[in-house]
Amino acid sequence: MRTFLTSKRLIMPALAFAAIAAFSVDAMAQKTIKIGASAPKTGPLAGGSTVSFWPNVELWVKQINAAGGIKLKSGKAKIELIEYDDRTNPGEAIKNIQRLATQDKVDFILAPYGTGLNLATAPLFAKFNYPLITHTAITDKVEALTKRYPNIFFSLGTTTAFAGSVAKVLGKMKSAGTIGNKVAMVNVADAFGIELANAARPIFKKAGFEIVYDKSYPLGSPDLSPVIRGAKAAKPDAFVAWSYPPDTFGLTAQAKVQGLDVKAYYTAVATAFPVFAGKFGKSAEGILGAGGINPETTAMKNYRATHKKITGKTADYWASGMVYATFQILQQAIEAVGTTDRKAVTAHIKKSTFNTVMGPINFKNQNNEVFWTVGQWQSGKFYGVSSTGHPGEKSIKAKPKW
C-alpha cells in the first residue's frame, strides 16, 4: 500500500520549488533586445572612436535601460550590448559583423566608425537586413551605394559637399582680402581622405584657388614633419588637410613647431574634439575643421551635460552629436514599428522624420541633406560656420599667429 505524506516538511520544499520555477519562467520571459557594436578600440582610428563612438554607445544604452527599455508592442525590452574591437582593420570589422549576425544573432547592429569600415561592412549589413545608419561616413558614392543597398543611410553628407563648403569658406575670406588664392592641400591615404582630395581639386580650381602643394600620406604615419615642411616651402595662403584624428593632431603640432602661419588653417576629423583645444590652448583659436554644431541650442546643451554626467567624458563638437542622433533614429524607428522586424524598421526610417540632438533628420533617397560642414574654434567652443541648411552659423574669423 502506497503512503502519501502531507507533513509540512514535504509541503514547504514543494512550495519553494514552485516559487523558484515561477520566478525562472518570469525571468526567461523578460524581453531584451540584442544590440551589436563593432568599432576601433585599438589601431589608428581608436583615438577618434573612443571620443565620438563608444561613449555615446554607453550613454544611449544606460539611458534606455534606466528607463526600462525600448518600447515594443509586447512591452519594454532592455538592451543587451555585445561589442567588439575591429582594431581599425576592415578584415576584422567584417569578421565582427559576421559574428554578430550569425553567432550572437543580435537584433540590430550599430554602424561602424569611419568611412572605410562602413563601406567594407555594408554588404554584410545588407545580406542580413540590418539597417545601417552611418554616422561617420562621408562619400560621393552615396547614390550608387543606396541603389545597391536598400538598408544603408547616410547622415553626414558627401565629400563634394564638404569640399565645396571649405572652398566657400576660403572664398569668403579671399573676397574679404583676408587670404590670397594659394592653397596647400594634404590628405590621409584612406577612403575618406582620398575621396575628399579628389573632390576638392576641381572645386578649389573653379573657386579661383591654386593648389601649390598636394601631398598624400599613409594612415598612421608616425612622422608628419616632412608634410608640413613641404607645405610651408610652397608659401600658401591657406592650409587644408583631409585628415583623421592622429594626423589632425600630428599635423597641427608640426605646423605650430615649424611656424606654418596662414590665416586659414583647416584640419578635418578630431579638430572638433575638446582635447584638441586642450592640447593647443590659445593656438586653437581660429582653426577651421570638419563639422561643428550650434552648441547654444537647448537640445545640444542638455545632451552635452548628460553625456558628461553619465560617461564622465566631454562630447566633441561634431561627430558625437551625430553618432547619438543615429542611435535616437534607430530607437524611434523600432518603437514606431513595435517589433524587431529589421525590414519594417528600415522601411520606417526611409519615410519618417526623427527628432534628434542635431535637429530634425529625414532621409531623401536614404541620404540626410541637412548637416554641418565646417566649424571653427572661437573663444573656447567649436562653432559651425558653414552647413547645408542648419540655422545658427557663426561668422568666420581669420586665424591669428601661433
What pLDDT is stored for residue 48 in this prediction? Answer: 92
Residue 3 pLDDT greater than 90, yes or no: no
- Going along the chain from its start, the domains and CATH numbers come out as 30-158+296-372 (3.40.50.2300), 159-295+374-387 (3.40.50.2300)
Q: What are the backbone dihedrals phi and psi of residue 174, each rounded to the nearest 5 degrees, phi first? A: -70, -40
What pLDDT is stored for residue 29 in this prediction? Answer: 38
Return d(Cα 11, Cα 130) in angstroms, integer: 51
Residue 24 pLDDT greater than 50, yes or no: no
* Mean local confidence (pLDDT), 151-169: 96
Contact at 8 Å (CB) between 231 and 213?
Answer: yes
Residue 28 pLDDT greater than 60, yes or no: no
What pLDDT is stored for residue 316 in this prediction? Answer: 97
Q: In what order do the strands lie in the sheet with 70-72?
A: 70-72, 75-85, 32-39, 108-109
What pLDDT is stored for residue 194 in this prediction? Answer: 95
Residue 7 pLDDT greater than 50, yes or no: no
- The SS3 assignment for 108 reads strand
* Mean local confidence (pLDDT), 193-222: 96
Q: Burial level of 372, CB count in 10 A (0-12/13-18/19+)?
A: buried
Residue with cell 590665416: 263
What pLDDT is stored for residue 315 in this prediction? Answer: 98
User: Minimal CA–CA distance to 259: which of 228, 227, 215?
Assistant: 228
The per-residue pLDDT for range 358-392, each reduced to its tens digit, is 999 999 999 999 999 999 999 999 999 999 999 99
Cβ neighbors of 2 (< 8 A, separation 6 or more) are: none
In which band, very low, low, confident or very high, does the pLDDT at 220 lie, cut at 50, 70 and 90? confident
* Mean local confidence (pLDDT), 200-218: 98
Residue 6 pLDDT greater than 80, yes or no: no
The per-residue pLDDT for range 132-143, each reduced to its tens digit, is 999 999 999 999
The per-residue pLDDT for range 52-86, each reduced to its tens digit, is 999 999 999 999 999 999 999 999 999 999 999 99
Residue with cell 601649390: 212
* Mean local confidence (pLDDT), 101-127: 97
Establish how many alpha carbons lie within 13 A of residue 350's alpha carbon, considering only the half-sphere containing its beta carbon.
Answer: 14
In which band, very low, low, confident or very high, does the pLDDT at 191 lie, cut at 50, 70 and 90? confident
In which band, very low, low, confident or very high, does the pLDDT at 159 lie, cut at 50, 70 and 90? very high
Residue 14 pLDDT greater than 80, yes or no: no
What pLDDT is stored for residue 320 in this prediction? Answer: 97
Residue 26 pLDDT greater than 50, yes or no: no
Percent of the chain with pLDDT over 90: 90
Q: Are strands 108-109 and 132-134 parallel, antiparallel or unpaired?
A: unpaired
The residues with which 220 forms a beta bridge, in sequence order, are none
Percent of the chain with pLDDT over 70: 93
Q: Where are the beta strands (DSSP E) in 256-326?
A: 264-267, 288-290
The per-residue pLDDT for range 236-263, each reduced to its tens digit, is 999 999 999 999 999 999 999 999 999 9
Contact at 8 Å (CB) between 377 and 163?
Answer: no
- The SS3 assignment for 52 reads helix
Residue 4 pLDDT greater than 50, yes or no: no
Phi-psi region of 59 (alpha: psi -120 to 50; beta: other; left: phi over 0): alpha
Residue with cell 544611449: 60
383 vs 2: which has the higher pLDDT: 383
End-to-end Cα spacing for the chain: 101
* Average pLDDT score, the chain: 92
Return d(Cα 271, Cα 291) in angstroms, integer: 9
What pLDDT is stored for residue 356 in this prediction? Answer: 97
Cβ neighbors of 171 (< 8 A, separation 6 or more) are: 207, 208
User: Minimal CA–CA distance to 186: which of 212, 165, 223?
Assistant: 212
Q: Burial level of 143, CB count in 10 A (0-12/13-18/19+)?
A: middle
